[in-house]
Amino acid sequence: MNRRAMRWAGALAISALALGCQQERSGLSQMVDSAVFGDAQAAPAKQLWKQRAADEPLPDGVVPLASLAPLVKTLKPGVVNIYTTSVTRPSRRRAPQGFEDPFEEFFRRFNEGNSGERRRQSLGSGFLINSEGYVLTNNHVVENATEIRVKLNDGRELEAKAVGLDPKTDLALLKLQGKQVHDLPIVYLGDSDGLEVGDFALAVGNPFGLDHSVSLGIVSAKERVIGAGPYDDFIQTDAAINPGNSGGPLFNLRGEVVGVNTAIVAQGQGIGFAVPINMVKELLPQLLEGRVVRGWLGVSIQDVTPELAAMLSLQEARGALVSAVMKGGPADEAGLRAGDVVVGVRGRKVDSYNQLSRYVASIAPGSGAELELLRDGKPLRLEVNIGYRPEDEELAQARLDPQAANDRLGITVRALARLRAQELGIDGGVEIVAVTPDGPAGRAGAGANDVIVEMQRRPIRSLKDYAAALAALRSGEMALIRLQREGAAIYVALRVP
């Protein structure tokens, strides 16, 4: 083939290739057009996807899940958004001794002639529990608020006043104000004790200001203790709870509130906590009265570890171990002793110190309660007259009052300060702050400011160590205690009462 013929053949091949590409592109375009625009003449085989008709039966093994939309529609009207305004005075910056703060002079000049007050706005959630405008939410949502505004599902905004606050359980009861407050939509309260791990849970709230957001999860755990307060008893859920959800309801699939969404784990995802609604129902009458009072025993308690159970001759590691009894308190008058293990209150089983705290707190002061104990491994029942829990400040003072000391050794102790430990050249211990002169430790020669570093050959580094060692002592036995006294170590021996 000559050169000219080869050129013609190449040109024809390129033309054929271009034509083929054009035809292929045209076919693809036709297929896309047919799929998107519904070309009636397009062959079914050229459709990009398949879609069932609404009335087409499902294949075997495919089970349709019911939608939660009808349930959500009935719940949303009873959920509200809460907006608060508070006035705060910023704390003054203080530099460590020996250092200068370059901002201190600036803030001093800036605040001259200025109160330094700042208006702070925050948001949260809540829910209506009756048609007269009572709203439940978290205490931290409205605490110190100078103005509370509540937005209903229909868009209306109403002023609200705090009726009752309880920081220890982080609950608050609000009352909507105004002539429009009547015949409002409400939610129903359920039974949180009936919840089981694995049950579905539905959270509705105002996360990040996105009102009436709904998320679905399950109950991940119950009776969680997270260190939020003395009466921790949280429902854990993986339903999405974010800032702004606080105070909102956690529903079961019956459409009943089973918890008040309260807290999240900042470092994790899918870990949220709600106050059980049964605890809320116990407190509601008191919140309505504007003040919450709680029952009190006047004891220091701790959990029973397997090690302590073995030393105390207990068959199982459960109950609340009494580590100290406050002199003159309800427990002292009833005959409780350090080393007793409370395993029941009014017929309710006690597995942990946290349970005992909650159960006693729920009993009205002045009421009687039967305690089930184990003393030296033997069962015992005591009747105690529940007292009124003092304020935290009163309790703190009582713990420091030498006359209130009534542990088994007749001493009051506290955690050893770090600087004091450095002065004495020791790693830790507990410091004696008061001694009953005619008590076992006082008669043995222990004095105020002595530091207990060892008991029965067991090192004492903290209050927890001390409480465990104290609880392990048996009546009538001799106890050997090592003290650190102004740079010198001494031993004292005493008989345990």
CA atoms within 13 A on the CB side of 390: 13
Choose, from 125, 140, 220, 300, the residue flagged as catalytic: 140
Choose, from 125, 220, 246, 323, the residue flagged as catalytic: 246
Q: Give the Cα separation of 319 and 305 in Å (integer).
A: 10
Q: Give the Cα separation of 1 and 10 in Å (integer).
A: 12
Give backbone dihedrals phi and psi of 468, rounded to 5 degrees, phi first. Answer: -65, -45
Active site residue 182: no
Q: If we measure between CA atoms, which residue out of 437, 447, 296, 301 comes closest to residue 367?
A: 296
Altogether, the residues listed in the chain come to a count of: 497
Contacts of residue 20, Cβ cutoff 8 Å, sequence gap at least 6:
none
Q: If we measure between CA atoms, which residue out of 472, 481, 477, 488 comes closest to residue 445?
A: 481
Please, what's the b/e burial string for 97-122 (b: 16 or more CB within 10 A of its CB; e: otherwise)? Answer: eeeeeeeeeeeeeeeeeeeeeeeeeb
- Cα–Cα distances in angstroms (integers) from residue 42 to residues 21, 33, 37, 51, in the given order: 20, 9, 10, 16
DSSP 21-82: HHHHHHHHHHHHHHHHH--TTS-GGG-S-----TTSPPPTT--PPPPSHHHHHHHGGGEEEE
Helices (H), 327-462: 330-334, 353-361, 392-400, 418-424, 440-444
Bridge partners (DSSP) of residue 249 are 260
Count of C-beta atoms within a 10 Å radius of residue 253:
13
Q: Give the Cα separation of 164 and 173 in Å (integer).
A: 5
CB 87 within 8 A of CB 118: yes
CB 494 within 8 A of CB 440: yes
Give backbone dihedrals phi and psi of 481, rounded to 5 degrees, phi first. Answer: -120, 135
DSSP 265: -
CB 195 within 8 A of CB 222: yes
Choose, from 166, 170, 340, 450, the residue flagged as catalytic: 170
Residues with active-site annotation: 140, 170, 246
